[in-house]
Amino acid sequence: MTDKQSTVNSQQSTVNSEQLPMTKRRKFLTGILALSSLSLSGCGWRLGNVRANSIVKGVSDQLFIYTWTQYTDQQLLKTFNAQSGLKVLADVYDSNDVMLAKMQAGGGAAYSVIYPSDYMVQKMVKLDLLTEIKKESLVGLENLFPRFQNPTYDSNNRYSIPYSWGTTGFLYNSEKLPTPPDNWDYIWKNKEQLKKKMTLLNDVREVMGGTLRMLGYSYNSKNEDEVKQAYEKLKEIQPYLTAFDTDAWRNKILAGDLLVAMCYSSDAVKIAKENPKLKYIVPSSGSSLWTDTIVIPKTAPNPNGAYAWINYLLQPEVAAEISQRLVIATPNRPGFELLPKKFQNNTNLYPPESVLEKCERIAPLSGFEEVYERYWTQLTSI
């Protein structure tokens, strides 16, 4: 997803609202992503007055969304289309910064739904890009776990609705690396063994943040000397990296071309299903905790359709189906309770408190972000 952030049920108390921080991918979907089926008979959900009030031939019978690659789901889109009469068309991006740049340049006027990460919600609110959520137009907001109903990045979900959450860490080949990369410094200590066999995310805040954490500082440091130290450490490791990469690493690690990749928990769990020798771990000194959300931009041409989409996703049955099919952690309590026990007990998706308490949510840094960008440009230009 440039940027991002419980154990549920019995894990319900695992994450409090003060704890919870995906650079993701950039491909372009040019067609209508709606062609399969989803069995949700009897879920009792209604679109309310959306069909009656908003389906007028033209813009209002289409819903354009701007999202992360791993959140595109043809089965979901077909079922939504059948129930609402709305055709959903999606474009995808590989980082929050790419998305924001497009929105600020006026290229996002067609979108009625966007999926920014938590800290980006704060940025977009400050830039006056988002419309305030009309709670009276929502059905199912109470389905969210309490900690997601009043998150620190958006009090009382004023501008956003949480969609998924997770951590950032390492996916590694346990057959070839019997000693796991249990902390950030592992890749420095083992750089010769890992030379051209490892990737870090193409994400300034995640990569800088993890290195800052290794040095004993905050992911959100506003001390330029600390950021410079992180840059110098990364400059040491840069010649040993295959790339700064948020997407292509998946096929490479499955093919055996990589031994370790920095990635998001949801991606790691999905890839590990294809090869059980691939294991995910969160660095012991701490990492980021992120939440990806759904927002409605002020320029949305079809806000009624946007509310219909959000209400659809808030259904427990839909949340559970999405969680299993896309292998993502859901913030929906009754949706979580519908998941198989094996899924509920997956600690890579729903980490224990001992892991989460060491993690930080990425936060906006206002003008200081220019410092990060300056060092990142230098690093990636080497």
Distance in angstroms (rounded) separating the CA atoms of residues 272 and 276? 5
Terminal CA-to-CA distance of the chain, rounded, Å?
Answer: 24
Read off the pLDDT of each residue in 148-170 and give the average, rounded to a whole number: 95
Amino acid 239: pLDDT: 97
How confident is the model over 88-130, as pLDDT tens digits? 999 998 888 889 999 999 999 999 999 999 999 999 999 999 9
Amino acid 17: pLDDT: 34
- Output 55 or 187, whichever has higher pLDDT: 187
* 3 state SS of 310: helix
Helices (H), the chain: 50-54, 74-84, 96-104, 118-126, 146-149, 186-189, 191-194, 204-214, 224-237, 249-254, 265-274, 303-313, 316-326, 333-337, 341-344, 353-356, 369-380
Amino acid 69: pLDDT: 80
Read off the pLDDT of each residue in 14-37 and give the average, rounded to a whole number: 35
Amino acid 60: pLDDT: 77
Tell me the pLDDT band of 372, cut-offs 50, 70 and 90: very high
User: Within a 10 A sphere around the Cβ of 44, how many other Cβ atoms?
Assistant: 8
List, in sequence order, every residue forming a beta bridge with 88; answer none if it has no partner.
63
Say which range, 51-55, 124-128, 168-172, has the weakest mean pLDDT: 51-55
Burial readout 231-256 (b: 16 or more C-beta within 10 A, e: otherwise): bebbeebeebbbbbbbbebbebbeee
Amino acid 2: pLDDT: 43
Amino acid 274: pLDDT: 94
How confident is the model over 260-295, as pLDDT tens digits? 999 999 999 999 999 999 999 999 999 999 999 999
Assigned token pair, 227: 């950021």
Question: For 340, left (φ over 0), alpha (ψ -120 to 50), or beta?
Answer: beta
Tell me the pLDDT band of 378, cut-offs 50, 70 and 90: very high
Average pLDDT, the chain: 86
Read off the pLDDT of each residue in 302-322 and give the average, rounded to a whole number: 96
Quote the DSSP letter at residue 132.
P
pLDDT of residue 258 exceeding 70, the answer is yes
List, in sequence order, every residue forming a beta bridge with 279; answer none if it has no partner.
172
* Count of residues making up the chain: 382
Phi, psi for residue 64 in degrees, rounded to 5: -95, 130
pTM, entire model: 0.79
Q: Which domains does the chain have, with CATH numbers?
A: 9-165+289-351 (3.40.190.10), 168-288+360-380 (3.40.190.10)
Amino acid 276: pLDDT: 94
Phi, psi for residue 279 in degrees, rounded to 5: -120, 150
Tell me the pLDDT band of 59, cut-offs 50, 70 and 90: low
* Nearest in space to 267 (alpha carbons), one of 237, 241, 245: 245
